[in-house]
């Protein structure tokens, strides 16, 4: 959740919604032979978290699992899920800002829905849905509760009281969560270190970046034709200047102001910055770019052809303040674009300094600019790291791997290594 949207502490929210402090359920899901009924709950079906939720729902064997996505809002991803045969329910009371009245209504409505539909598993994603969804599931007596952390709602740039309140809330919810899935090993390690849940309930999972389109995009940044097509698609035809790009939501988490500052510090007037993605800061960033005296920055908005436009970039940058395991970095690595990113959370699962990219401190646009400049000045080093990154992630982030992890999480006693047989 965005720090600016928080009006009441998360501990107060957990108290008003009645979070259970009992141990997690040890009962299993459906044992009748019918498909296991799974409710995937997410506040907004968008961004990397939304994409992973949809990937997970679509990946499951429909003969064994009946998947339903419940979300407060959704557009393109909701349509994709429906087109794949997944039921999508829009629950308007499920909203991102903390609002006790709305959150109590969402909890009550979700609990009634879970009871009426007799779900075997409730699987929540993101912080707000993680609170109200898990509380509602426990109230409704859902046999198994799973939560995915795509990163954490607490981070180093919050005040200590607010951060501690978030941690306390997550620990309380963790006591009534059967499986905690963490997107990235570093996120799982932090969950264990902060005692978010008992160690044996914490598991690391990955994102999904596979399929024919990914195979076609592999090392595409080295293709002159792919590069030309990508730049033309972004309105940068026949541009000889270096292009530095970001793919991500225009939100506080992604620190777009730091990217603008880094481009100014880079002091290469011919360079062009590109930001692919929309979000609540879109208008503010548009105003800042219009007044900037630094290099040109193009705001490309939301695009469905990310793999096609990534070859336009000479360097991929990610200035985030906090992250899970960012899909956009994986996609950049697939395409062979050298990466410089903030050293936060599970970014370090992907970017090994000096081997598969460069890491910088968050909120340090000067370091970001210097690292971008280094990769532009030493293209042979950048090319070597890009090739190493592509080779390292090859075949790692697949729908099959996610299906195995979710099968293990949804069915008690099934290990991920055995889950391929449970299809």
Tell me what pLDDT residue 415 has: 57
Tell me what pLDDT residue 16 has: 38
Tell me what pLDDT residue 32 has: 62
What distance lies between CA 12 and its chain's CA centroid? 26
Please determine, looking at this structure, whether the domain spanning 3-208+398-421 carries the CATH number 3.40.50.2000.
yes
- 277: DSSP letter: B
Please state, in angstroms and rounded to a whole number, the distance separating the CA atoms of residues 419 and 399. Answer: 13
Strand order in the sheet with 87-90: 87-90, 65-74, 36-45, 121-125, 144-149, 179-183, 202-205
Tell me what pLDDT residue 354 has: 96
- The mean pLDDT of the chain is 89
Tell me what pLDDT residue 277 has: 95
| All residues at 6 or more sequence positions from 316 whose CB lies less than 8 Å from its CB, including other chains | 244, 245, 246, 247, 310, 328, 329, 332, 337, 338, 339, 340
Closest CA to 2 of 94, 73, 96, 72: 96
Match 């099934």 to its residue by tokens.
414
pLDDT in tens, 41-60: 999 998 899 999 999 999 99
Closest CA to 20 of 195, 174, 183, 194: 174
Tell me what pLDDT residue 30 has: 55
pLDDT in tens, 310-349: 999 999 999 999 999 999 999 999 999 999 999 999 999 9
pLDDT in tens, 351-385: 999 999 999 999 999 999 999 999 999 999 999 99
Q: Exposed (0-12), middle (13-18) or buried (19+): which is 258, by Cβ within 10 Å?
A: buried
pLDDT band at 5; cut points 50, 70, 90: very low
pLDDT in tens, 55-83: 999 999 999 999 999 999 988 999 999 99
Tell me what pLDDT residue 24 has: 42
What distance lies between CA 103 and its chain's CA centroid? 23
**Is the pLDDT higher at 195 or at 17?**
195
Helix (H, G, I), strand (E, B) or coil at 321: coil
Bridge partners (DSSP) listed for residue 70: 41, 89
pLDDT band at 386; cut points 50, 70, 90: very high
Structure tokens at 327: 């899909």
Q: Which CATH class is domain 212-393?
A: alpha beta
Structure tokens at 81: 């899920």
Q: Is the pLDDT of residue 27 over 90?
A: no
Tell me what pLDDT residue 193 has: 95
Virtual CA dihedral for 53, 57, 59, 63, nearest 10 degrees?
170
Positions of CATH 3.40.50.2000 in the chain: 3-208+398-421, 212-393
Tell me what pLDDT residue 392 has: 96
pLDDT in tens, 226-254: 999 999 999 997 778 999 999 999 999 99
């Amino acid at each position: 959740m965005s720090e600016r949207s928080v009006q009441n502490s998360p501990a107060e929210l957990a108290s008003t919604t009645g979070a259970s402090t009992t141990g997690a359920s040890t009962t299993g899901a459906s044992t009748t032979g019918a498909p296991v009924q799974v409710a995937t709950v997410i506040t907004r079906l968008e961004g990397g978290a939304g994409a992973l939720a949809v990937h997970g729902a679509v990946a499951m064997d429909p003969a064994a699992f009946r998947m339903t996505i419940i979300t407060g809002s959704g557009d393109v991803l909701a349509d994709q899920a429906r087109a794949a045969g997944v039921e999508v329910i829009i629950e308007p009371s499920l909203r991102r800002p903390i609002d006790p009245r709305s959150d109590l209504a969402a909890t009550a409505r979700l609990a009634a829905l879970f009871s009426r539909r007799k779900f075997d598993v409730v699987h929540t994603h993101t912080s707000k849905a993680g609170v109200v969804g898990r509380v509602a599931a426990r109230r409704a007596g859902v046999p198994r509760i799973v939560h995915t952390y795509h990163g954490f709602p607490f981070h180093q740039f919050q005040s200590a009281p607010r951060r501690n309140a978030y941690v306390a809330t997550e620990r309380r919810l963790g006591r009534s969560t059967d499986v905690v899935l963490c997107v990235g090993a570093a996120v799982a390690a932090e969950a264990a270190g902060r005692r978010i849940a008992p160690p044996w309930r914490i598991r690391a999972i990955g994102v999904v970046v596979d399929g024919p389109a990914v195979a076609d995009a592999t090392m595409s940044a080295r293709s002159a034709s792919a590069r030309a097509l990508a730049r033309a698609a972004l309105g940068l035809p026949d541009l000889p200047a270096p292009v530095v790009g970001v793919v991500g939501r225009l939100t506080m988490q992604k620190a777009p102001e730091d990217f603008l500052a880094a481009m100014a510090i880079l002091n290469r007037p011919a360079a062009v910055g590109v930001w692919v993605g929309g979000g609540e800061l879109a208008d503010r960033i548009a105003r800042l770019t219009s007044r900037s005296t630094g290099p040109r920055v193009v705001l490309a908005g939301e695009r469905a052809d990310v793999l096609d436009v990534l070859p336009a970039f000479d360097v991929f940058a990610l200035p985030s303040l906090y992250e899970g395991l960012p899909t956009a970095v994986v996609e950049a690595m697939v395409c062979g674009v050298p990466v410089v990113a903030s050293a936060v959370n599970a970014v370090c699962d992907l970017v090994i300094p000096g081997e598969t990219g460069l890491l910088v401190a968050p909120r340090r646009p000067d370091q970001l600019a210097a690292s971008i400049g280094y990769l532009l000045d030493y293209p042979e080093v950048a090319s070597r790291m890009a090739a190493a990154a592509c080779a390292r992630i090859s075949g790692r982030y697949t729908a099959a791997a996610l299906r195995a992890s979710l099968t293990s999480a949804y069915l008690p006693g099934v290990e991920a290594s055995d889950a391929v047989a449970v299809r």
